[in-house]
Amino acid sequence: MPSCVITGEGGLGKSYTVMKSLDSAGLKNITDLAAFETGTRINTSKAYRVVKGFSTAKGLYRTLFESNGMTIVFDDCDSILKDDVARNLLKGALDSYSKRYISWMADMRDDDLPKSFEFTGRVIFVSNMPLEKIDQAIRTRCMVVDLSMTEGQKVERMEVIARSEEFLPEVSDVAKTAALAFLKAHIGSVPNLSLRSLIQVAKIANRGGQWQDLAKYVITQGA
C-alpha cells in the first residue's frame, strides 16, 4: 500500500517518529523549498514534504499535484478527513490500482492546475482523531497504525524518544533522566500525560536547583 494513517492522542511523538523514519530511509525533507538554491534538481521519489494545518479540498488537489511523485506527510490536517470532497480526492490518491488518477472537474477559472492527473506519490496521514472516526474507505486503503496507549506505555515511549540525540539537544542527559523519573513518580497526577509533559519537566530540571515543586505545579495544571 502506498499510504499510511497514524492515529493516537496528541503529544505521543507521532510526527517526530515519522520524519525521523523518513530521514533514516534516505528521504530528503523539502518542506522548506526556500532553503534550496534555484535550479536544484530534486529526486522526488527520494523526497518528502510535510503539510500542516487546515486545507480545503482544492488546496489538497493542488498539494497532490505539486508534490506528485514524492511522499506527502499530512500532519494534523484533520479538516481533509472531515470534508466530503477532500475525502473523495484522497480516496483516488490512496487507491491500490496500478495507476491512480485524481480529477477536479469543477470550474478552475484561470487556475494552472489540470483537470486530471496520474498520482504517483505516497501519503502518510498523522492525526489525533480516534481511529473509529476516520472514514472506513480511507482506512481500508491504507496501512493503519493506532498509537493509543496507556499511561505506562506513554512513559515507555518517552524513554525511547529521550534516548535520541535529536531530542532536546540543549538539555543534559542527567536532566532528561531526572524528568523521566519524576513523571513516573507522578504518573497519576498528570491530567494530559504526553511528550510535551516530558519536554516541560526536562527543561525545568535542566535549570538545576529545587526544580521539583515548579515541575509538579506545571504538569498538574494540564498544560
Domain spans in the chain, listed from the N-terminal domain onward: 3-146, 151-220
Report d(CA 5, CA 40) in Å as an integer.
31
Q: Write out the three cell numbers for 216.
A: 509538579
Average pLDDT over residues 114-121: 91
Cβ count within 10 A of residue 36: 12
Q: Give percent of the chain with pLDDT exceeding 90.
A: 29
Average pLDDT over residues 110-114: 76
Instruction: Answer positive or negative: Cα dihedral of 94, 27, 82, 11.
Output: positive
Report d(CA 39, CA 60) in Å as an integer.
26
Report d(CA 18, CA 126) in Å as an integer.
9
Note the pLDDT of residue 223.
Answer: 46
Report d(CA 116, CA 189) in Å as an integer.
53
Coil vs helix vs strand at 11: coil
Mean pLDDT score across all residues of the chain: 86
Average pLDDT over residues 146-160: 85
Q: What CATH homologous superfamily does 3-146 map to?
A: P-loop containing nucleotide triphosphate hydrolases (3.40.50.300)
Report d(CA 139, CA 132) in Å as an integer.
9
Average pLDDT over residues 190-216: 90
Q: What single-letter amino acid sits at 213?
A: D
pLDDT above 80: residue 21: yes
Highest mean pLDDT (candidates 62-71, 126-135, 152-161, 187-196): 62-71
Note the pLDDT of residue 39.
Answer: 62
Q: Give percent of the chain with pLDDT exceeding 70.
A: 93
The band of 36, judged by pLDDT with boundaries at 50, 70 and 90, is low
Average pLDDT over residues 34-38: 63
